[in-house]
Amino acid sequence: MEDTYKHKGLRKQLVAEIKRKGIKDEKVINAIGKIPRHFFFEKIFDIHAYEDKAFPIEAGQTISQPYTVAFQTELLDIQPGDKILEIGTGSGYQASVLMELGADVYTIEYQKKLYQKVIRFLPTLGYQPHMYHGDGSRGLLRFAPYDGIIVTAGAPTVPEDLVEQLKPGGRLVIPVGDDKKQSMQLIKKISADKIEKEAYNHFCFVPLRGQHGWSK
Ligand code: SAM
């Protein structure tokens, strides 16, 4: 895997594009600018890595659009050392962005094939999140509570289990809607029994599976 001048140039253009689309957090922008997204693609498709688009990966899933990755990460408002749970490891790109921001990342993937691939691949880039295979729609109770939870697949509703696994002051970022489009919801857990909700633009994700998803 090589990060050529051409790749670096395309990455700069991508960073300019996500800024133009409204991403402001410098730490998020720097992470997108640093991580070679084409390393997450098959070599023959690497030309597509710096388009601001989602792209198919194995098991019928996708690597999220860079703008979406940046948008969700910005909403999480990560501080170094924060314990973050990601539901939907996919290619491992979003987990790498979270690690670049200094988060202690727990990530869970439903598709065994993707989990097996990413657990071998990410350490070769120097990223060592805690990786699990299973149904993340119920969260990952073993290591809760979390400062932040990010869901990278579209959910029918906000799973109560995820809100419960947040620390007071924690944030859940989750796309909620039908199979065509979802609104990005930010749920702030103010205290054990008080939450605040904000909803943002519409996005289009692959469906969340599992107990609190669309199908088992
Ligand atoms: N974050 C990923 C990345 O950076 O490549 C994007 C992942 S893709 C848009 C969504 C992922 O969520 C898929 O890999 C899918 O298999 C996974 N997924 C769906 N339902 C899940 C569940 N209940 N638990 C864990 N992962 C799930």
CA of 65 to the centre of ligand 1 (A): 13
Q: Spell out a b/e string for 101-117, using b for 16 or more CB atoms within 10 Å of the CB, else e.
A: bebbbbbbbbbeebbeb
Report the mean per-residue pLDDT for the chain: 97
d(CA 143, CA 149): 12
Over range 98-117, report the average pLDDT.
98
Return the residue matching tokens 């300019």: 16
Shortest-distance Cα residue to atom 2 of ligand 1: 90
Residues 29/19, Cβ–Cβ less than 8 Å: yes
**Both tokens assigned to 82:** 């924060």
Split at pLDDT 50, 70, 90, the class of 1 is confident
Question: Tokens representing 103?
Answer: 């988060």
pLDDT for position 8: 97
Distance CA 99, CA 106 (A): 10
Residues framing ligand 1 (Cβ under 6 A): 61-64, 87-88, 90-91, 93-94, 108-111, 114, 135-137, 152-153, 205-206, 208-210, 213
- In a 3-state reduction of DSSP, which class is residue 170? strand
Give the domain ranges of the chain.
52-203
CATH architecture of the region 52-203 = 3-Layer(aba) Sandwich (3.40)
